[in-house]
Each structure stands twice: as C-alpha cells, then as structure tokens.
Amino acid sequence: MQLHITIDDGKSVAGADAWTQRQELANILTAVVADLLDEGIAPGDKKPLRDRNGHTVGTAHLAE
C-alpha cells in the first residue's frame, strides 16, 4: 500500500517568506494526518487537500 500526496500551494503562499511557506505546508500535512485518523482512506480513494483558507491545493491518494 502506498500513500501518494501531491501538494501545489504556490498560489496560496505566493510572495510569502520561507517561514510562512513552511508553516502552510505543515498545516496542510497536519490536516492530512487528522483526516486520516478521523475518517480513514480506502484503497483507491482520493482526498482533496486544502490550505488554511479552504482552497484545494492537492490530493492524497491511497494506492495498493
């Protein structure tokens, strides 16, 4: 089983400093972990990843 995570948050952090960019990435990954613990993910499922403003910035996909 493999978990593939794709994140493209370029628009949500455009022009931000490096610390802010890292913080936003950490927020997105923390939300992924929380969702996996709360809801789980079945093989083949794709979950949208969102930034702190609710914009879709990627996906998490569980492959077998």
Residue-wise pLDDT tens digits, 8-61: 876 666 667 888 888 888 999 998 888 888 888 888 889 999 888 888 999 999
pTM greater than 0.85: no
The predicted structure's pLDDT at residue 39? 82
Give dist(CA 53, CA 20) in Å, integer: 14
**Residue 15 to residues 6, 29, 34: CA-CA distances in angstroms?**
21, 21, 28
Residue 5 contacts residue 13 (beta carbons within 8 Å): no
The predicted structure's pLDDT at residue 11? 65
Among 6, 27, 29, 5, which residue's Cα sits nearest to residue 16? 27
Q: Which residue has the tokens 């609710």?
A: 54
